[in-house]
Structure 1
Amino acid sequence: MDKVLEQIQKLGIVPVVKLDNIEDAIPLAKALTEGGLPCAEITFRTDAAEEAIRIIASEFPDMLVGAGTVLTTEQVDRAVNAGAKFIVSPGLNPRIVRYCVEKGIPITPGCSNPSDVEQAIELGLEVVKFFPAEAAGGLNMIKAMAAPYHKMKFMPTGGITEKNLLSYLDFPKIIACGGSWMVSEALIENKEFDKIKEITKDAVVKMLGFELRHIGINAQNETEADSIATVFQNLFGFTKKMGNASIFAGLGIEVMKTPYLGQHGHIAIATNYLDRAIYHLESCGISFDETTSKYDSANKRTAIYLKDEVAGYAVHLLQK
């Protein structure tokens, strides 16, 4: 997969933005970046789109800015020259797709039926936009189309909200969702950029779904570990469960048979999407210890520790 599309996959959400006024470009980009989504698909439906892309690409060089609703090759050139890193179109126009492919420009054209997908495959694409998502059959339609086209991945846009976001992202053939609920025309028109930042942050938090899974306590040996687990069992009725390296008391307390990471022990935080969580936390300056990564039989990462302790506890993320 193209590197830009890989980055979009890690972000999980692509804000789809309609800008009427160029002066809104910088405060909008700032709100999205601070909200945790340094990404925007600026639709070419307004006269301000091209210059807005140019301003954002210049002032926020690390932001992934693309052009949407691109209908001609001339618009492709204008968008790319302004700094767009990817192109999105509402439908599949073979001429535009071929033009972008030949120039090495990532493009996700809109597809809503098997014929569109077969054209996309013929043109060498690995990812298409499913549009308009909800009106075209939603997640059930994507699942039906994904069955015969097992290598094709989708980026649904149109009718995606905070209410149905997770149901889409849970399907592994979907790399990300495009949405405008955090950047609605009304919010931008009213200059409510603090609100945009807040809604964006809420969207990221909901997507990642962090929750405390268990607390790990370091014991010196198995005898001490069993003694500690027994205390929790006697106090609260937490059933002990013996493991190879630890003893659980209920689901929330893990006692290590020998000291492990962390001065006192560890804290396990579960997340909906581990790799996305790593990407978003790294963008906030958090570092991870790659040597602690664990993988399942399908070579999918299931756990990893942060490099730094918190209050004497190591912290690791778990895939739900």
Structure 2
Amino acid sequence: MNELLQQIHRIGVVPVIKITDPETAVPLARALDKGGIPVAEVTFRTQHAAEAIRRISAEVPQVLTGAGTVTTTEQVDTAVAAGAKFIVTPGFNPKVVDYCLERNIPILPGASGPSEIEQAMERGLEVVKCFPAEALGGLPYIKALSGPYTEMKFMPTGGVNPGNITSYLGFSKILACGGSWMIDSKLIAAGDYEGITQLCRQAVDVVLGLEFSHVGINNDGDAEAQRTAAALAPLLGAPTGENPNAMWSSSSVEVMKSQWKGTKGHLAISCSNLDRAVFQLERRGLVFDPDSAGTSADGKRRYLFLKDEIGGFAVQIIER
């Protein structure tokens, strides 16, 4: 997967923006970036799309800006000349797709069925847009499509909202989701871009799904770990599990059999996707220790630790 697709994957949600006044383009892009969503798909549903892309690209270059609802090669040229970094089409138009591929222009074409997916695969594409996702059948429909097309990834758009985006992103074949619920036209009309930023932050929080997982208590060897677990038993019940490294006094207390991470132990915060969590938390000023990367005892969940302890505890971000 190329760097542009990886960047979109890390962000997780792509705001679909319809610009009716070019003056709103830059403050809107800044609000998106401030809210943790530095990407925008500016749709060619209005005559101001190209100008909006030009202004965002020039004044807010950290926002990855693409052009959406592109249906002609002329619109491709106009969008790229304005600064668009990628093209999104509502359907699979072979003429537009081939035009982009011949010019090394990243494109996410619409593909709502097997025939279009096969056309995309024939051209070496890795990701397609699924539109209108909910109307087509939502996540169950995409999962069904993924059966015969295991290498293809999807960007569902249309009907995605805070109530279902977590389910979509929980499926490994979803690159990211397109949506517009955080682009409230009433807030834009009122010039309330801080309100847009808050909606973006809420969207990011939903995407990340950060929540407390468990606390790890360091011990000096198996014997001390056994004593610690026994002392906790009247409060938490009998140990619920054990592996070579630790015992579980409950689902929220990991009794380590050695002095592992942290002076006192570690605090584990779970997330829906480690790459997205690291991307967003680094934007919030947190620093990770790249040498601390690992996987859970069952080998299924990736984790990474913050560089610094908090209150004597190492802090682990781990996938659910």
3-state SS of the aligned residue for 1:181? coil
What is the distance in 2 between the residues matched to 1:251 and 1:298? 15
Q: CA deviation at 1:137?
A: 2.2
Map of 1:62 onto structure 2? 62
Structure-2 change in CA distance of 1:248 and 1:136 (3 Å)? closer
Q: Is the 8 A contact 1:36 1:201 kept in 2?
A: yes
Q: CA deviation at 1:255?
A: 2.6
Residue 307 of structure 2 aligns with an amino acid whose one-letter code is K
Q: Is the 8 A contact 2:216 2:254 kept in 1?
A: yes
Map of 1:239 onto structure 2? 238
Q: CA deviation at 1:296?
A: 7.2
Map of 2:111 onto structure 1? 111
Q: Is the 8 A contact 1:33 1:63 kept in 2?
A: yes
What is the distance in 1 between the residues matched to 2:317 and 2:298? 18
Residue 164 of structure 1 aligns with an amino acid whose one-letter code is N
**Per-residue displacement from partner, 1:31-78 (whole Å, max 9, x unpaired)?**
111111111101111222212111211222221111111122221122
Structure-2 change in CA distance of 1:290 and 1:154 (3 Å)? same
Unaligned runs of 5+ in 2: none
Which structure 2 residues correspond to residues 130-279 of structure 1 after superposition, within 5 A? 130-234=130-234, 236-240=235-239, 241-279=241-279
3-state SS of the aligned residue for 2:31? helix
Q: CA deviation at 1:97?
A: 0.7
What is the distance in 2 between the residues matched to 1:289 and 1:167? 30
Unaligned runs of 5+ in 1: none
Q: CA deviation at 1:29?
A: 1.2
Q: Is the 8 A contact 1:208 1:272 kept in 2?
A: yes
Alignment coverage as a number of residue pairs: 319
What is the distance in 1 between the residues matched to 2:280 and 2:23? 28
Q: CA deviation at 1:204?
A: 1.0
What is the distance in 2 between the residues matched to 1:122 and 1:77? 24
Q: CA deviation at 1:247?
A: 2.9
Map of 1:16 onto structure 2? 16
Q: Is the 8 A contact 2:13 2:179 kept in 1?
A: yes
Structure-2 change in CA distance of 1:244 and 1:237 (3 Å)? same
Q: Is the 8 A contact 1:214 1:252 kept in 2?
A: yes
**Is residue 98 of structure 2 the alignment partner of residue 98 of structure 1?**
yes
Q: Is the 8 A contact 2:247 2:254 kept in 1?
A: yes
| TM-score (structure 1 length as normaliser) | 0.93
3-state SS of the aligned residue for 2:182? helix
Map of 1:43 onto structure 2? 43
What is the distance in 2 between the residues matched to 1:164 and 1:77? 35
| TM-score (structure 2 length as normaliser) | 0.93
What is the distance in 2 between the residues matched to 1:104 and 1:301? 35
What is the distance in 1 between the residues matched to 2:74 and 2:299? 43
Q: CA deviation at 1:288?
A: 2.2
Runs (4+) off by over 4 Å = 296-301
What is the distance in 2 between the residues matched to 1:305 and 1:48? 45
Q: Is the 8 A contact 1:219 1:258 kept in 2?
A: yes
Q: CA deviation at 1:183?
A: 0.6
**Per-residue displacement from partner, 1:237-267 (whole Å, max 9, x unpaired)?**
3323444222322122223232222122110
What is the distance in 1 between the residues matched to 2:111 and 2:290? 38
Once the two structures are overlaid, the 10-residue window that deviates more, 130-139 or 186-195, is 186-195
Once the two structures are overlaid, the 10-residue window that deviates more, 9-18 or 212-221, is 212-221
What is the distance in 2 between the residues matched to 1:110 and 1:144? 17
Structure-2 change in CA distance of 1:2 and 1:245 (3 Å)? closer
Once the two structures are overlaid, the 10-residue window that deviates more, 294-303 or 175-184, is 294-303
Structure-2 change in CA distance of 1:15 and 1:124 (3 Å)? same
Once the two structures are overlaid, the 10-residue window that deviates more, 74-83 or 155-164, is 74-83
What is the distance in 1 between the residues matched to 2:206 and 2:57? 28
Q: Is the 8 A contact 1:308 1:314 kept in 2?
A: yes
